[in-house]
Amino acid sequence: MYRLYRLSTRLLEKILSRKYPERFSPPGEDGVEVWMHAASVGESRVAAAILEETLRLRPGLRVLLTLQTRSGLEQARKLLKSLPGIRIRLAPWDGPGTIGAWLRKLSPRVLVLIETELWPNLLFEALSHGTPVLILNGRLSSRSFSRYRRLRPLFAPLLARVSMAGVISEEDRERFLALGIPPERVRILGNAKHDLSFRRVEDLDPVPLVRRLGLRPGERLLVFGSMRRGEEEAVSRIISGLISVPDLRFAVVPRHPERAPEFEKHLTARGLAVSFFRNNHQLAGARIIVVDEIGPLFTLYALAEAAVVGGSFQPLGGQNPLEPAILGKPVLFGPHMENFPLESRILLSGGGARQVNSVEEALSVLFDWLHHPDKAREQGWKAFQCARKLRGASRRYAELLLRFL
């Protein structure tokens, strides 16, 4: 199966290289010790957390970080601008000629793939050049695993030769084993993304957002974070059920800002007044704010009385429940948290989160927290204690990486 993939990508190389020359031209860099490859914005955060720890342990290391998307490239440059020795650029096309040229030019001592950036020619060429291949912060959602399992004949012979895979959870370990990585080469090391969230707390300044929202003493904020397509009705029903609570305000943050008008439409259909966040600096008194830009969610969590985590009220796998937990907030999510099994399990077992199966259950939990704030604060404290247990993964990944240098 790999031969067919190799042949097709070689043919496409000739066609696409004229249209996207930057993806096919050899890198300007000569000789790096680490070539790290990640996908987009989320993975760039993971890469940044691991690289910060790696360079703390081994200053002066020469690293090239490649990203698949321009948004990921911009995010990585922001996160790593203070670290010397790291060069960042767009990833090459996964063609055998292109990848071979990159490897000959770079001569990396190790290739690091972040999460699920498994590209057949990149794997094959690196292994053929004798370059150790590591998978760090490895994760396979149920959806990704189904896709890769169908392609097992393509990936299994390559993954069997990977030097080591550090993965997030037991579920991820079982899935990587099923794709062909030998058991002795898979280790559960946690999620490096959480370390970056802890560092963000140190730099957090909520005052500008408090002023923009016009939050007054005694007002409370309920935050719906990273809400996804199909969750508009659940959000509007919950807010409609809580709108009578005095001094309670609501911030709805869609995972994708372009979905903001859909949330606004469902809320106004219930007779609720909505204000958009973007370009609006007169939000004092606005009961319901729909956030139509990227960026404010973490600070909103810091100001929240409680957090409702999206992607969990539809079969979408859930969003990260640890961000509000790190900030000491009680966390509520729906029945679908398949993409965060370890985090949700630890929060639930430690009493830091509640999982509900319906809007009615969600309203019951939220009413309880709002009418018994001491209970909400206690659950938030437990959430923080649970989150602390998941720190330190980026250092473990850095130590694993340095073993191969």
Quick: pLDDT tens for 84-130: 889 999 999 999 999 999 999 999 999 999 999 999 999 999 999 99
Check if the beta carbon of residue 113 is closer than 8 Å to that of residue 134: yes
Q: What confidence score (pLDDT) does residue 113 get?
A: 98
Residue 325 CA to residue 381 CA, distance in Å, equals: 8
Q: What confidence score (pLDDT) does residue 13 get?
A: 85
Q: What confidence score (pLDDT) does residue 89 get?
A: 92
Q: What confidence score (pLDDT) does residue 30 get?
A: 78
Residue 267 CA to residue 288 CA, distance in Å, equals: 9
pLDDT in tens, 302-330: 999 999 999 999 999 999 999 999 999 99
Q: What confidence score (pLDDT) does residue 289 get?
A: 97
Same fold, 2-191+392-402 and 206-388: yes
The CB-based long-range contact list for 210-216 (8 Å cut-off, 24+ gap) reads: 210/303, 212/281, 212/283, 213/249, 213/283, 213/284, 213/286, 213/289, 213/303, 214/282, 214/283, 214/284, 214/285, 214/286, 215/249, 215/303, 216/284
The confidence band for 27, taking pLDDT boundaries of 50, 70 and 90, is confident
- Give the residue-averaged pLDDT of 187-208: 92
The topology (CATH level 3) of 206-388 is Rossmann fold (3.40.50)
- Give the residue-averaged pLDDT of 141-148: 90
Annotated catalytic residues are 43
Q: What confidence score (pLDDT) does residue 308 get?
A: 98
H-only helix segments in 80-192: 96-106, 120-128, 142-150, 152-159, 170-178
Tell me: pLDDT of 266 over 90.
yes
Residue 362 parent element (H or E)? helix 359-371
Check if the beta carbon of residue 313 is closer than 8 Å to that of residue 231: yes
Tell me: pLDDT of 276 over 80.
yes
Tell me: pLDDT of 47 over 90.
yes
Tell me: pLDDT of 29 over 80.
no
pLDDT in tens, 54-93: 999 999 999 999 999 988 899 899 889 888 889 999 999 9
- Give the residue-averaged pLDDT of 231-252: 97
- Going by the DSSP 8-state scheme, the letter that residue 113 receives in this structure is E
Check if the beta carbon of residue 169 is closer than 8 Å to that of residue 403: no
Tell me: pLDDT of 203 over 90.
no
Q: What confidence score (pLDDT) does residue 321 get?
A: 97
Q: What confidence score (pLDDT) does residue 11 get?
A: 87
Which CATH code for domain 2-191+392-402? 3.40.50.11720
Q: Where are the domains of the chain?
A: 2-191+392-402, 206-388
Mean per-residue pLDDT over the chain, rounded: 94
Residue 196 parent element (H or E)? helix 193-202
